[in-house]
Amino acid sequence: MSPPAAYPEVPDFLLAQWQELMSLVSVDCGVPAALIMRVHPSQIEVLVSDGSDSPYHPGERENLCTGLYCEHVIATRDRLHVANALTDPNWDHNPDLRLGMISYLGYPLLWPDGVPFGTLCILDRAENHYSEAIDKQLGLARRIIESNLSLIHETARHRQTIAALRQSKQHLRDAVLRANAADRAKTDFLARASHDLRAPLTSIIGYAQLLQGCGGTAGQHGQIIRHSADHMLTLINDLVEYASGSLRDEIDARPQRLPEFIERLAHEATMLARRNHNRFVLQRRDGLPGVVWMDARRVQQIVGNLIENAAKVTRQGSIELTVGHSTDGAPAGGVMLQIEVRDTGCGISADDLPRVFEPFFRCGDSRRIEGTGLGLPIVDLWIKRLGGSLQLDSALGVGTRIRLAIPLKLGSEGDIEARQPHEEALPAPFGGGRRLWVVEDAAETRGQLVDILENAGFVVACAEDGQAFIERIGAADAAAPCLVLTDLMMPGADGHAVCAAVRARWPGVPVVLLSAQAPDAGGTDSAFDARLHKPVTPARLRAALAGLLAPAPAEPPAAPAPRPDAATLARMRALIELGALTDLVEWAEALAAQTPEHDAFARKVLALADRWDVEALQALCN
């Protein structure tokens, strides 16, 4: 019978208007009492009362279930007219008789949703049959009051909606703040994890290259260490890229000679297939285009992941790479590059097939098969980014076949020539006794950088962190160096603070950032003159310094740079014929480290290998 407690109260200004309305009703109807009653859970309250001689007063309450006129109106939600309760057996015990009210005419008052608010009624001490005009007037008053109730209800509902929206907005704002904080924490963690994981590889790879230059057993050990470190770096890059979302990076399509690119893929695949004593087979379809525009790094990453997965699950079997092309579904003036990787490994069960592209999912016995479970998810993401398609077929105990189709735009030799640097070799970054600073908190990396730079002819000063460097260059007698090489993340003062201190003291001195972190999206890295990503090879470091430093003071003319002996050149020629790009780069870096007199020759090889200019490389070794 009663409305929920959540229904709103009647505002004071409406109560005042209702009071005036009841005064008019009482006078016009000629009755002593005109009332607006409000029902509560167990009582009924006089909300408004007016009349010349009304015994009812606002605020008074009467218990329900006592036989009141208004109870019947609320229960039936209908009009009630009692002309004379004294002569009506249904009402001759009505509690209102105690107040002398024997006549009653009342209407229910309802909220817009049909829930009772109370009643509107008039009472008289004498028998009263109430005329039709009085009945209409009371009905009109009822409509006015219920219209007001609708307004109250709608206003309350809007206020509740606004309050809910404000609360939701606050919850959303709090959620965004928490998400931003979590994202900042994730970014900070990834930056530190990337730094902590990559930084040791700088010294590992650097010293491995020095070992490779020693030849013999030590050189072989250095090569094993280098290959293991490169594999670890690939795993770290995959994990950090996937976790940081940098897989959303833009596609970097450049003109590539497709046959040479396929040779590089085949060489890498051959090395991977040998792990478990597998045989690698390359099948090239006829009519492949010579030059195409593509993101070679990403396509190589995709195929490399597929070959590596195949090598993990195949033992003493075969891995086959087939490359072809088609114009079906190709972009205008382009082709669809078709790549198929097939293995005779353990295969994938029907239950596991739907999940193979889930991040970190590993098929079969995950304890027996190494890996992070990111290879195929990364392949799937990049194939979609490249606008291509992927089809996977596998049978348990038989093997797996993965077919890729990647849309490519056709290119020409002119496209490659237009994008090639014109210089044939990197300029020699010889130190000539010039002084530079290395600011690096990792002792192993600092020592390796000192070895490389001193071998290049520099005098190296070191600081174990940014704060120590800033204090030392603050001395009045501190001499300006030719360059400062600094790490980014260090205790106390970081690389940005080092750069700011150098700019303040010596504005013309170049500052090179050496960091394991990804480039800063906010652009703060632009304060540095150059940026090198850990782990850095001696060749990359020398090339970066050469681009920033003027040539060392001229020395007396030296004899022409010697060429390696015939046996060494024969090794170079064999690597070129095999298409072994990675081994050729490692060979050249080892040559420079082992025999400094061949540094210029090695740097020329590195420059030509960087753009895989086979003809120029063959001419150089002949």
pLDDT tens for 229-286 read 766 776 676 666 666 665 555 688 899 999 988 988 888 888 888 878 899 999 999 8
Residues 6+ away with beta carbon under 8 Å from 347 = 313, 394, 395, 396, 397, 398, 399, 400
Backbone angle region of 214, left / alpha / beta, with phi > 0 → left and psi within -120 to 50 → alpha: alpha
Distances in whole angstroms, Cα of residue 117 to Cα of each of 71, 105, 138, 481: 12, 17, 17, 89
pLDDT tens for 26-62 read 999 999 999 999 999 999 999 999 866 889 999 999 9
CATH of 435-548, one of 3.40.50.11740, 3.40.50.2300, 3.40.50.1860, 3.90.1150.10: 3.40.50.2300
Check pLDDT > 90 for residue 362: no
Let me know if the fold of 12-160 is the same as that of 435-548: no
Q: Residue 585: its pLDDT value, please?
A: 78
Identify which of 461, 521, 531 has the alpha carbon closest to the alpha carbon of residue 495.
531
Q: Where are the beta strands (DSSP E) in 151-251?
A: none
pLDDT tens for 210-221 read 676 666 677 777
CA dihedral 482, 486, 492, 493 (to 10 degrees): 60
Check pLDDT > 80 for residue 70: yes
Rounded percentage of the chain residues whose pLDDT exceeds 70:
82
pLDDT level of residue 405 (50, 70, 90 thresholds):
very high
Check pLDDT > 80 for residue 516: no
Cis before 108? omega within 30: no
pLDDT tens for 520-573 read 555 566 789 998 887 777 777 888 888 888 765 554 544 556 788 877 887 888
Residue extents of the structural domains in the chain: 12-160, 249-419, 435-548, 566-621
- For residue 170, count other CB atoms closer than 10 A to its CB: 10
Fold held by 249-419:
Heat Shock Protein 90 (3.30.565)
Q: Residue 284: its pLDDT value, please?
A: 92
For the segment 323-337, the average pLDDT, to the nearest whole number, is 91
Lowest mean pLDDT among 118-127, 495-504, 604-613: 604-613
User: Exposure string (b/e) for 547-557, b if CB count within 10 Å is 16 or more?
Assistant: eebeebeeeee
Alpha helices in 213-338 (DSSP H): 216-244, 258-273, 296-313
Query: Given this structure, which CATH class describes domain 12-160?
Result: alpha beta
Rounded to whole angstroms, the Cα distance separating 594 from 215 reads 8
Lowest mean pLDDT among 149-153, 354-358, 481-485: 354-358
Q: Residue 173: its pLDDT value, please?
A: 87
* Mean pLDDT, the chain, whole residue set: 83
For the chain, the C-alpha Rg in angstroms (whole number) is 44
In terms of pLDDT, which residue wins out, 167 or 361? 167
Q: Residue 534: its pLDDT value, please?
A: 79
